[in-house]
């Protein structure tokens, strides 16, 4: 039995599963357990099971497909983009943010592409009133990554590599890993903050790299706006160019912590599961397959659930009940 749900409705499945057992999340295409979780306080305690060496066992045999097979870093960044872990120097940024807010000048933050993939600005507190400038090249980098799709020949090759290869049937003419990350993580982040976004057209100047053109564009934008424009980046190479051009910046340090035991609130945990389904294409949660990519998908927030045991009837009852209650539009 199958159902197509929205990301928020994933909580119905989580609630149902947690009432019976621990929540166990596996990667069926790799045949490895990823994590276990159970309710704790107002959220969930997560115990990460997957280790980097398990990813290496698959990837080292198949370097030719490295670009489309999820890596341990992809797995790690699902925790970062769900804000369960964060940048190593986040405290320093919060101090800097307080300093920026004390200035008489208005502040405009300009994130690079990495920050959109890490879904940072929609989740960090204290920036709600700060406008965001996106250089058109940053948006184009995401858009250009969105339309890589599986060809039949590529899927045939992947079937010889992964476990449970019959699941790849859902990926026919659908987005590859690079495009799934761009569409379901980076573009979703852009959509969440779009009400605060100022789109900045890149200047007409020849440069050696896109990064250089982005920095030069921000320099020109800063010169022509009565605000302090601050580049936010996790790429040290961009800060070298910003320093030369005299553009204010803040460099985020990639987290150093090892994935182990982590606490997540309900929203963070749902986001983690959604991001894992997006990056891996499909995950398994307690005998329920959750497809982040599937034939017929039309919305960014959609997931397909495929039930492999008798929990379907119970889920369907609660799911329909929640939809009917939602239709009543009862205000709290």
Contacts of 40 (CB under 8 A, 6+ apart): 263
> Of 251, 272, 301, which residue sits at a domain end?
251
Contacts of 7 (CB under 8 A, 6+ apart): 270, 271, 274, 301, 302, 303
Query: Which pTM does this prediction carry?
Result: 0.94
Residue 154: inside a domain = no
Most confident of 55-69, 254-268, 317-331: 254-268
Instruction: Please state whether beta strands 106-111 and 261-265 pair in parallel, antiparallel, or not at all (unpaired).
Output: unpaired
DSSP 149: B
Q: Find out whether 224 and 199 touch, Cβ atoms under 8 Å.
A: no
Contacts of 236 (CB under 8 A, 6+ apart): 251
Distance of CA 234 to the CA centre of its chain: 15
**Residue 119 to residues 46, 79, 111, 217, 247, Cα–Cα distance (Å):** 20, 11, 10, 23, 23
Position 265 confidence tier, pLDDT thresholds 50, 70, 90: very high
The number of residues in the chain equals: 332
Q: Are residues 107 and 40 in the same domain?
A: no
229 phi/psi in degrees, rounded to 5: -90, 125
Cα gap 52→71, rounded to integer Å: 8
| pLDDT tens-digit map of 273-296 | 999 999 999 999 999 999 999 999
SS3 of 304, please?
A: strand
Q: What percent of the chain clears pLDDT 90, i.e. is strictly above it?
A: 81
- Within 10 angstroms of residue 207's Cβ, the number of other Cβ atoms is 15
Residue 203: inside a domain = yes
Q: Are residues 133 and 267 in the same domain?
A: no
End-to-end, the C-alpha distance of the chain in Å comes to 34
195 phi/psi in degrees, rounded to 5: -65, -20
Residue 206: inside a domain = yes
Q: Are residues 122 and 39 in the same domain?
A: no
Number of domains into which the chain is organized: 2
Q: Are residues 310 and 192 in the same domain?
A: no
Residue 283: inside a domain = yes
Q: Are residues 264 and 245 in the same domain?
A: no
> Of 206, 234, 251, which residue sits at a domain end?
251
The predicted model gives 147-160 an average pLDDT of: 92
Q: Are residues 243 and 135 in the same domain?
A: yes
Residue 153: inside a domain = no
Residue 269: inside a domain = yes
Residue 221: inside a domain = yes
| pLDDT tens-digit map of 168-199 | 999 999 999 999 999 999 999 999 999 999 99
Q: Are residues 108 and 244 in the same domain?
A: yes
Q: Are residues 219 and 299 in the same domain?
A: no
SS3 of 154, please?
A: helix
The predicted model gives 60-83 an average pLDDT of: 88
Residue 163: inside a domain = no
**Residue 184 to residues 28, 74, 190, 240, 320, Cα–Cα distance (Å):** 20, 14, 10, 30, 25
State the residue range of the domain holding 287: 2-85+257-327
Asked if the model's pLDDT at residue 136 lies above 90, the reply is: yes
Q: Are residues 317 and 188 in the same domain?
A: no
**Residue 295 to residues 182, 299, 315, Cα–Cα distance (Å):** 18, 12, 22
For 158-175, give one letter per residue: b (16+ CB within 10 A) or e. beebbeeeebbebbeebb
pLDDT of residue 255: 94
């Amino acid at each position: 039995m199958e159902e197509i749900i929205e990301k928020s409705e994933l909580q119905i499945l989580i609630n149902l599963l947690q009432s019976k057992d621990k929540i166990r999340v596996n990667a069926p295409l790799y045949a490895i357990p990823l994590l276990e979780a159970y309710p704790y306080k107002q959220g969930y305690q997560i115990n990460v099971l997957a280790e980097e060496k398990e990813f290496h066992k698959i990837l080292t045999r198949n370097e030719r497909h490295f670009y489309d097979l999820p890596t341990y870093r992809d797995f790690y960044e699902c925790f970062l983009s769900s804000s369960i872990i964060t940048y190593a120097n986040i405290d320093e940024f919060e101090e800097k943010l307080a300093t920026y807010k004390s200035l008489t000048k208005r502040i405009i933050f300009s994130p690079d592409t990495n920050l959109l993939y890490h879904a940072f600005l929609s989740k960090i507190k204290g920036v709600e009133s700060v406008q965001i400038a996106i250089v058109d090249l940053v948006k184009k980098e995401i858009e250009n990554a969105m339309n890589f799709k599986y060809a039949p020949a590529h899927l045939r090759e992947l079937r010889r590599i992964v476990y449970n290869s019959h699941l790849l049937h859902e990926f026919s003419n659908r987005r590859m890993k690079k495009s799934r990350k761009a569409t379901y993580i980076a573009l979703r982040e852009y959509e969440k903050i779009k009400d605060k976004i100022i789109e900045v057209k890149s200047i007409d100047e020849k440069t050696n790299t896109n990064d250089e053109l982005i920095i030069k564009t921000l320099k020109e934008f800063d010169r022509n706006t009565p605000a302090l424009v601050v580049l936010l980046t996790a790429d040290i190479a961009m800060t070298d160019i910003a320093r030369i051009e005299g553009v204010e910046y803040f460099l985020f340090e990639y987290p150093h912590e090892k994935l182990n035991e982590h606490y997540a609130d309900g929203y963070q945990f749902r986001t983690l599961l959604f991001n894992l389904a997006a990056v891996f294409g499909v995950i398994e949660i307690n005998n329920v397959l959750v497809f982040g990519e599937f034939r017929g998908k039309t919305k960014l927030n959609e997931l397909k659930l495929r039930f492999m045991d008798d929990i379907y009837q119970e889920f369907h009852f609660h799911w329909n009940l929640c939809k009917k209650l939602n239709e009543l539009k009862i205000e709290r």
